[in-house]
Structure 1
Amino acid sequence: MTGIYTTINLTMSIPVLGAAAIALWRLRGAERRRWLLGVGGSLVVLLVLTAIFDNLMIAAGLVAYDDALTSGLRLGLAPIEDFSYAIAAAVFVPSVWSVLTARTPAAVADGHTSPQESGAGVRDSVPDKPAPPALLTTLFWSSRPVSWVNTAAPFALAYFLATGEFDLVGVIGTIFFLVPYNLAMYGINDVFDYESDLRNPRKGGVEGAVLDRSRHTATLVASAVTTVPFLAYLVLVGSAESSLWLAASMFAVIAYSVKGLRFKEVPFLDSVTSAFHFVSPAIIGWTIAGAELTAGVWACLVAFLLWGAASQAFGAVQDVRFDREADLKSVATVLGARSTVWFALTCYVAAVLVLLICAPWPASGAAFAILPYLATVAAYLGVDDSTAEVTHEGWKRFLVLNMLAGFCVTQLVLWSVLVWS
């Protein structure tokens, strides 16, 4: 356990560095300068405040740290690891915000101007269409880099909670669910949703790429090539139980989008399957560590599934018109916008109740991380099919709320392992 705080901080720095890299790569000119000023200014302020208040709290005896669990380096009385939180907040939040609000880069989709910029509701065909972006650029944006942490963190946290450490299996599993898993999940979806994505003005940026037809085969091949080696390794080091869950997870990834299955066009199954995309990494992390799926663990997983189903359903509301134009079915096209919002709200409430009633402490504390979602969805209870697209603003908030909720749950996991265990 020597230096475990340092190990944890280095692991959790992966999404922070990833967000910063995306921001630097995506932003240009004045937008990049604003990002640098925002990050630099907030970093100085947060580091100074952390140094002052950490030293005051430690001197007052409110908190204490064991040097055996840290690197031993201190600034005054404060361990150097404590400053990682300030760095993460100063870098990560401005990076995510800048990427979400920046203009869509030209090398995102199929070379067209976005519908928002052109004023068109549907992408028009351009006779002298530019060449598609480089393959790596296409694969990068198709994998939804902003969402990488949403699948990697459940695996990493479950594995760490089950083992109390982070070894090679934990690292390789986290890397798999960070990038290859997302490339397979979203890349396959982009290929088979091409026609509907062309009609959707949300696509072509951080919320989803529109793949040029010439990149479809390459995306499917890349998805297979990057996932198979990781799958083989996780099966080799795992148990029969974890391998079955891994197989179920990959089946859900494929079945959600491919023709002949298309779970995303089966109302309610679409919400459950989408939620399973995020819950299954946690199950795999837990079982590959050899831990038992107890009643308390299942309560947490069911609550997580309800959260994911609610989020998928609410996200489908904004696409009601585009899905109907493309003759696609979803929970929102069947229930209608207003009923779907109510369905999402009900699932969030159910998730809170499951955690509070069935989950053991401190896991039950995660219920409070769901409350901001309830508030966001409740603001749109009056929408109907004609105004459904206004929920897009609420959906964009989810991209930030997911990070905040993940941070809160991460702290609960760390406390449960390092303090309460």
Structure 2
Amino acid sequence: MLEKLKKAISISRPVFWLGPMLVYLAGLFMAGIPRGPLETVEMLLLTFPFAFIIYGLNDIYDNEVDKSSPRKGGMWGARLEKKDIPWVKHLIIFFSIAIIFTSALSFQPLHFAFSFLMVAVPYLYSAPPFRFKARPFWDSFLSGGYGVGPFMFAYTLSGEFFPYPELFVVSAGFSAIHAIATIMDYREDRNSGINTFAVGYGPAAPALFVLLVCIVNFIYSWGFSYIISAGIGLAGILSAWLAFCPTPKNAKTVFKLLIAYVFFWLFYFFLKYFVLGPWFADYSEMEFRTILPEVLEYVRQ
């Protein structure tokens, strides 16, 4: 049992647990919805359970490819054995039903309908007959749902869709992260016949796509948060370098640097405003302008 638990955690890639939860909280905040018991349960379902659905399906249908992948293991997931497939499938089904059932308790038809879309996207991405993972560009495009999905999942609790198109520009950032990952897996995917973005159009194409996304998002983010703008600028510079030297090793370096940047500032804000806030937080800094105190107050509820 303990061995299965360790493998389940490895499959779910813990480094990716935090993203959907934070995006979900942002959706609640923008919709003006207080975080009650239902919202808290949904938020938690978007950590380990949702990640297990996404990456569990990926590992099942890429099982043969992963056997020869040097990246597999640790934060990049577990190598599944034949005996693991049944229990992984059962757990995926259980978590999928849990997300849908919990959304039904909201008695909000739009939210309930969106829960099916949330669960369907990982299946469309990894599983046949659609398997968008093996369709160049569309593999990265669909991965943008990692950003849009949890946000809209929360926002639809209000009974409406989010009315601002900027959300989809930001979600392109999640597509960009996936595009870098296709360069990291370029050799394994090419040898296995998986026609990803990097395989279909060459490893330089995803890097150029990331650069384009960074330019657009840099324009949108400027004046809102200098830290976010700086991170996007860093990603743009790294993606330009990657376009000239599009090797799996360089892509992995870029990916690690960007992940480290994000986690550094998440730790900084957590330490400064939550741990040391009563003594050291200066809310006049306006890093997130006047919205920061409201966000912090909301998260503390």
Equivalent residue letter for 2:194:
L
Please name the residue that 1:105 is paired with. none
Equivalent residue letter for 1:285:
A
Equivalent residue letter for 1:349:
I
Among 170, 174, 196, the alignment partner of 1:308 is: 174
Give deviations 1:107-160, integer Å, cap 9, x for gaps. xxxxxxxxxxxxxxxxxxxxxxxxx98211111110111110011110022213
Contact kept in structure 2, 1:172 and 1:230, CA below 8 Å: no
Please name the residue that 1:125 is paired with. none
Please name the residue that 2:278 is paired with. none
- Alignment pair present for 1:223 and 2:92: yes
Alignment of 1:40-51 (within 5 A): none
- Alignment pair present for 1:199 and 2:49: no
Q: Structure 1 residues 303, 211: CA separation in 2 closer, same or farther (over 3 Å shift)? A: same
Q: Structure 1 residues 243, 352: CA separation in 2 closer, same or farther (over 3 Å shift)? A: farther
Among 235, 258, 272, the alignment partner of 1:398 is: 258
- Alignment pair present for 1:379 and 2:245: no
Alignment of 1:361-372 (within 5 A): 362=224, 366-372=228-234
Contact kept in structure 2, 1:152 and 1:175, CA below 8 Å: yes
- Alignment pair present for 1:269 and 2:138: yes
Whose radius of gyration is greater, 1 or 2? 1
Among 334, 348, 366, the alignment partner of 2:214 is: 348
Q: Structure 1 residues 316, 205: CA separation in 2 closer, same or farther (over 3 Å shift)? A: same
Give deviations 1:280-329, integer Å, cap 9, x for gaps. 0011111214465222xx31x11222101111111111211111111111
Task: After TM superposition, give the deviation of residue 175 of structure 1 in Å.
Answer: 0.4
Contact kept in structure 2, 1:253 and 1:277, CA below 8 Å: no
Q: Structure 1 residues 364, 289: CA separation in 2 closer, same or farther (over 3 Å shift)? A: farther
Task: After TM superposition, give the deviation of residue 276 of structure 1 in Å.
Answer: 0.6
Give deviations 1:233-281, integer Å, cap 9, x for gaps. 2123052222232222211111111121111111111011112123200
Give deviations 1:72-116, integer Å, cap 9, x for gaps. xxxxxxxxxxxxxxxxxxxxxxxxxxxxxxxxxxxxxxxxxxxxx
Partners of 1:246 and 1:266 in 2: how far apart? 24
Question: TM-score scaled to structure 2, two decimals?
Answer: 0.83
Q: Structure 1 residues 267, 404: CA separation in 2 closer, same or farther (over 3 Å shift)? A: farther
Please name the residue that 1:183 is paired with. 52
Contact kept in structure 1, 2:211 and 2:240, CA below 8 Å: yes
Q: Secondary structure at the match of 1:209?
A: coil
- Alignment pair present for 1:331 and 2:197: yes
Contact kept in structure 2, 1:271 and 1:310, CA below 8 Å: yes
Equivalent residue letter for 2:189:
D
Q: Structure 1 residues 349, 404: CA separation in 2 closer, same or farther (over 3 Å shift)? A: farther
Alignment of 1:75-224 (within 5 A): 134-163=3-32, 165-224=34-93
Contact kept in structure 2, 1:323 and 1:329, CA below 8 Å: yes
Give deviations 1:306-361, integer Å, cap 9, x for gaps. 101111111111211111111111110112112221121112212223445xxxx7
Partners of 2:269 and 2:113 in 1: how far apart? 26
Which structure's relative contact order is higher, taking Cα pairs within 8 Å and 6+ residues apart? 2
Partners of 2:269 and 2:183 in 1: how far apart? 27
Q: Structure 1 residues 355, 294: CA separation in 2 closer, same or farther (over 3 Å shift)? A: farther
Task: After TM superposition, give the deviation of residue 222 of structure 1 in Å.
Answer: 0.8
Q: Structure 1 residues 319, 418: CA separation in 2 closer, same or farther (over 3 Å shift)? A: closer
Partners of 2:155 and 2:265 in 1: how far apart? 20
Query: Identity, % of aligned pairs?
Result: 21
Instruction: Count how many residue pairs are aligned between Structure 1 and Structure 2.
Output: 279
Unaligned ranges ≥5, structure 1: 1-131
